[in-house]
């Protein structure tokens, strides 16, 4: 996906939106509004009974899953005015979205820190895994939240189901392609040059065929702030993330095709010295295509096949005068075949095989004329793996067992066997207790293994071992017509976690590169925590949600002269409290979030409290549904900081949230 394509297509989304809106306006009718109306008329109990797919290849309700899962619905998104997927999931217990010195939107589940690249939490779109071939990285921004039906978050090791990258959890973004026919346009304006255009439509193409199409263009509020680099140079930078997205889902009988393309620009200030190497924004581009086939053979079972192709590109200028640029291109190809069979009323069996290959297509630096200057030992590198997996379900009265195992064969790291055992006891029709023991496995990325750049001071390590983890948890769930509760306690062991250690490196020619960041495996360490998520919906429509968690861990992976270890930089307490109240056509909502203090490389990071306010008004006009929305993010202008845990060289912290933003959104449902 090249800039030319986005310049000709995505940058003209505004015109496309108005054309599509005009066409649909002529065809609109009241029956198309039923999807949103039905969603908001459902009780809390009914919403939580909607089948989810992140915890199993077969749809099942939140009560009946064999894992710990949290769900954000389209109703939650509209009520609290979430403006991004990262903003929504960060309100869940045990989930945080953080920034590092180099990268934004790094999802952290249960405090297991990601490095500069988001490769320890798997991101899926409509059950299709999506990640980069070089860094094993994923992008939450490739989907606009206005196109999301729900977000399913599985916490804890998930390798038996999904293989590598599902190390500490999985996020499954479900689009609105399963809704009845509808069309929706969203226009948003805000301070600091914030604006969003979004259009989505779901319609019947011909017999047995449906098409979902979504287009969006988002310019995030640009916040100015002072930044001090590693060498103590200071300047003012503009903090932002801009993204354009196109998504399409075509369903025809047993066949489903998914396509997604994105361009994401974000401020970039990681290089040193700051003034000479801050050459402009970091540009991320990519597209994904998948084909799925599902066929039921009656009592014989169900066959599923999935093919996915993911291509990504990352580019930026290394100097302010743009005399040198860097390009990183990669692709990943994924195949999965599975067969599910109900053996008896008490037994079910699932068998599957996966094949995955990833390749770095270009990882080089170029001059202003496009001539090659320098490679970094990655271009042309590839890795492949295949896996066999199986799950056996056993149901007897109130007792439910799920046994799973996956054997992964990686061309560099040989064989790995991961297991999972889940036991569920039904206390009543609406109460469950779950016991879960699970393992995870993540193979090092091409970047972590082979990258060499003396100037950047970062080096890969061919001697890396895969990361592994073992987790044990107990969970209690209870659902009633107007309230729900999920409480979980877990204890986990993490081994060979990959992180950057500052030290001296002996190169292949015998010379020494002093004081550089080297990818290393850490020693085994443990993590433990408690997560609570509860919701309440009163008879007079008062609504509330509470997410709270405590987490901590030991310093078993302490390493290096700066005594780096995972939980040194992780706050122990998180809390999000949401309240909402509808009056006729008006809904008011507030979200209070607390993050406790933590340590940093040089000095402590302060605790923080943020408050978001959302007000919406819905009206009928000429047969159409119009929603007006005013959102105030960070009302008190609190600055929320995260320890700079990756490089740890003179920069103690980076901001996650800063400044106040106010926006107005008009949504038209046709």
Please tell me the least confidently modeled range out of 431-440, 507-516, 625-634. Answer: 507-516
Beta carbons of 257 and 291 less than 8 angstroms apart:
yes
pLDDT per position as a tens digit, 434-474 = 999 999 999 999 999 999 876 666 788 888 999 999 999 99
What is the distance between the alpha carbons of residues 285 and 142, in angstroms, rounded to a whole number?
9
CA–CA distances in Å: residue 601 to residues 413, 458, 550, 627, 647: 33, 18, 22, 46, 9
pLDDT over threshold 90, residue 324: no
Vertex 247, ends 5 and 331: CA angle to 5°? 65
pLDDT over threshold 60, residue 316: yes
Per-residue pLDDT, 652: 87
Q: Half-sphere exposure (CA, 13 Å, Cβ side) for 291?
A: 4
Beta carbons of 423 and 434 less than 8 angstroms apart:
yes
Neighbours of 429 (CB within 10 A): 8
Mean pLDDT for 351-363 is: 95
pLDDT over 90 for what percent of the chain? 58
pLDDT per position as a tens digit, 61-88 = 888 888 899 999 999 999 999 999 999 9
Going by the DSSP 8-state scheme, the letter that residue 482 receives in this structure is: T
pLDDT over threshold 70, residue 30: no
The two structure tokens encoding residue 68? 């710990």
What is the distance between the alpha carbons of residues 542 and 564, in angstroms, rounded to a whole number?
46
Mean pLDDT for 249-261 is: 96
C-alpha radius of gyration, the chain, whole number: 24
User: The sheet that has 512-521: what strands, in order across it?
Assistant: 452-453, 458-459, 512-521, 498-506
pLDDT over threshold 70, residue 319: yes
């Amino acid at each position: 996906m090249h800039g030319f394509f986005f310049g000709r297509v995505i940058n003209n989304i505004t015109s496309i939106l108005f054309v599509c809106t005009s066409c649909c306006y002529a065809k609109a009718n009241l029956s198309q509004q039923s999807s949103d109306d039905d969603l908001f008329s459902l009780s809390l109990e009914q919403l939580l009974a909607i089948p989810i797919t992140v915890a199993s290849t077969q749809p099942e309700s939140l009560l009946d899953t064999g894992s710990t899962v949290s769900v954000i619905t389209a109703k939650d998104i509209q009520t609290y005015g979430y403006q991004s997927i990262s903003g929504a999931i960060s309100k869940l217990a045990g989930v945080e979205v953080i920034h590092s010195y180099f990268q934004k939107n790094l999802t952290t589940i249960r405090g297991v820190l990601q490095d500069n690249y988001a490769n320890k939490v798997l991101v899926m779109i409509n059950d299709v895994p999506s990640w980069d071939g070089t860094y094993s990285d994923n992008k939450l921004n490739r989907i606009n939240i206005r196109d999301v039906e729900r977000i399913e978050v599985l916490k804890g090791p998930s390798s038996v189901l999904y293989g590598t990258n599902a190390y500490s959890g999985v996020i499954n973004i479900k689009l609105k392609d399963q809704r009845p026919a509808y069309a929706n346009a969203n226009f948003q304006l805000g301070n600091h040059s914030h604006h969003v255009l979004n259009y989505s439509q779901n319609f019947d193409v011909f017999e047995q065929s449906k098409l979902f199409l979504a287009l969006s263009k988002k310019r995030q509020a640009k916040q100015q702030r002072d930044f001090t680099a590693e060498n103590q140079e200071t300047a003012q930078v503009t903090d932002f993330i801009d993204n354009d997205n196109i998504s399409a889902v075509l369903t025809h009988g047993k066949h489903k095709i998914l396509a997604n393309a994105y361009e994401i620009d974000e401020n970039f200030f990681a290089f040193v010295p700051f003034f000479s190497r801050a050459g402009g924004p970091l540009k991320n581009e990519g597209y994904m295509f998948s084909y799925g086939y599902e066929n039921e053979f009656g009592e014989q079972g169900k066959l599923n096949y999935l093919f996915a192709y993911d291509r990504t590109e990352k580019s930026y200028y290394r100097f302010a005068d743009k005399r040198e640029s860097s390009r990183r291109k990669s692709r990943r190809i994924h195949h999965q075949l599975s067969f599910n069979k109900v053996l008896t009323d008490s037994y079910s069996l699932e068998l599957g095989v996966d094949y995955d290959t990833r390749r770095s297509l270009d990882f080089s630096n170029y001059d202003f004329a496009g001539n090659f200057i320098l490679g970094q030992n990655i271009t042309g590198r590839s890795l492949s793996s295949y896996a066999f997996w199986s799950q056996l379900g056993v149901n007897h009265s109130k007792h439910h067992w799920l046994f799973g195992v996956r054997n992964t064969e990686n061309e560099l790291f040989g064989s790995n066997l991961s297991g999972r055992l889940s036991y569920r006891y039904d206390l009543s029709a609406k109460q469950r207790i779950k016991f879960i023991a699970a393992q995870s496995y993540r193979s090092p990325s091409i970047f972590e293994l082979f990258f060499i750049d003396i100037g950047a001071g970062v080096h890969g390590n061919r001697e890396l071992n895969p990361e592994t983890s073992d987790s044990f948890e107990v969970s209690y769930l209870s659902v009633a017509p107007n309230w729900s509760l999920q409480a979980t306690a877990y204890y986990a062991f993490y081994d060979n976690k990959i992180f950057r250690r500052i030290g001296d490196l002996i190169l292949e020619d015998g010379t020494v590169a002093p004081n550089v960041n080297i990818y290393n495996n850490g020693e085994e360490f443990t993590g433990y925590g408690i997560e609570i998520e509860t919701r309440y919906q009163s008879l007079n429509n008062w609504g509330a949600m509470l997410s709270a968690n405590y987490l901590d861990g030991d310093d078993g992976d302490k390493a290096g002269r700066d005594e780096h270890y995972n939980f040194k930089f992780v706050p122990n307490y998180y809390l999000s409290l949401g309240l909402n109240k509808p009056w006729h056509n008006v809904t008011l909502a507030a979200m209070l979030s607390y993050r406790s203090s933590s340590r940093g490389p040089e000095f402590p990071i302060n605790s923080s409290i943020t408050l978001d306010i959302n007000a919406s008004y819905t009206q009928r006009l000429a047969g159409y549904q119009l929603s007006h929305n005013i959102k105030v993010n960070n009302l008190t202008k609190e600055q929320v900081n995260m320890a700079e845990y990756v490089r740890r060289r003179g920069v103690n912290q980076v901001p996650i949230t800063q400044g106040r933003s106010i926006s107005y959104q008009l949504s038209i449902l046709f």
